[in-house]
Structure formats: C-alpha cells, structure tokens
Amino acid sequence: MRFIYTALLILFSFSLYSQEFYTLEQCREMALEHNRQKAIANKQIDKAKSDVHVYRSNFFPKLSAQGNYLLSSNKIKKNIGDVYLPTFLPDGKGGYLPNVNTTTPEGNPIFGMYAYLPEIPLELTLKNTWTAGV
C-alpha cells in the first residue's frame, strides 16, 4: 500500500505548480488596473472635459437667416352659397341647445327657427408676398 502512495506521489508531483512570483512594480500595476475609484475618477475627468467643450460651443451667439418670396398671379375664388343655419338656445350650463320643435319619422330633428346666411364671395390673391426672419 505504501508503494502505491509513493508511486502516486511521485507521478503527480510533476503536474503541481507553485504560485507566481510578482515584483512590487507588477503588484502596483495590477492594483492600478483594477482600482474602481480610479475608473470613476477617469469618467469624471471625461465628463468635465465634455462639459468644457459644451460651454465653449455656446460661447458665441448663433445667427441664422431665412427668406421666402411668393409671386402668384392666380386668384383663389370661392363662393359660399345661401345657407340656412339652425338657431340654438343657451342652456343653464353655458352651452347651447338646438331650437328643436319636432322630429321626422326617420328621427331627424326639425328646427323651429333658422338664421339666413347670405352668399359670401371670397377672393384671395397672393402677389409679391415676402417673409424674412433672422
């Protein structure tokens, strides 16, 4: 039995490794690489640099200009014909109720009074229209 343990010890002793040896400089470099506070400080420095860039970009005033010109010789003509509009009565809540007397068999209301709206001829021209902005 002792022979088996001795043979196994000799056989497996070649595959064992010891710890790595680090110099003080290597330990210092590893500590700096894995330091969270240093990473946070680097991010804050980057943020401060970008803030300075933003403030410098807003230092000078911004100017812009635009202009438009429209020349149209066409006239827009529209006639709104004679119409009769139903009248409404004010209700107690600030709204309006239609002045309805009765309904048709189909259920459509028949208004009791109508207001006459005469024909309105509309004519619109856009000649030499300018717009500008700074």
pLDDT digits (tens, 9 = 90+) for 4-40: 888 877 777 665 566 788 899 999 888 888 888 888 9
Q: Are residues 30 and 85 in the same domain?
A: no
CA distance 125 to 71: 10
Q: Are residues 47 and 78 in the same domain?
A: no
Residue 89: C-alpha distances to residues 81, 85, 94, 95, 96 (Å): 25, 13, 10, 9, 5
Task: Extract the runs of DSSP E, i.e. beta strands, from 25-91.
Answer: 66-70, 75-80, 83-86, 88-90
Q: The domain containing residue 115 runs over which residues?
A: 66-133
The reported pLDDT for the residue numbered 47 is: 96
- The residues facing 51 across adjacent strands are none
The reported pLDDT for the residue numbered 55 is: 86
Ramachandran sector of residue 128 (left: φ over 0; alpha: ψ -120 to 50; beta: rest)? left
Are 61 and 121 in contact by the 8 Å Cβ rule? The answer is no
Please report which confidence band the pLDDT of residue 49 belongs to, taking 50, 70 and 90 as the band edges. Answer: very high
* 105, pLDDT greater than 80: no
β-strands 109-111, 114-117 pairing: unpaired
* 78, pLDDT greater than 90: no
Q: Are residues 78 and 128 in the same domain?
A: yes
* 51, pLDDT greater than 80: yes
Q: Are residues 55 and 90 in the same domain?
A: no
The reported pLDDT for the residue numbered 46 is: 96
Are 54 and 46 in contact by the 8 Å Cβ rule? The answer is no
Asked whether residue 14 is domain-assigned, the answer is no
Asked whether residue 8 is domain-assigned, the answer is no
Please report which confidence band the pLDDT of residue 87 belongs to, taking 50, 70 and 90 as the band edges. Answer: confident
The reported pLDDT for the residue numbered 86 is: 73
The reported pLDDT for the residue numbered 18 is: 65
How many domains are there within the chain?
A: 2
Asked whether residue 57 is domain-assigned, the answer is yes
Are 97 and 106 in contact by the 8 Å Cβ rule? The answer is no
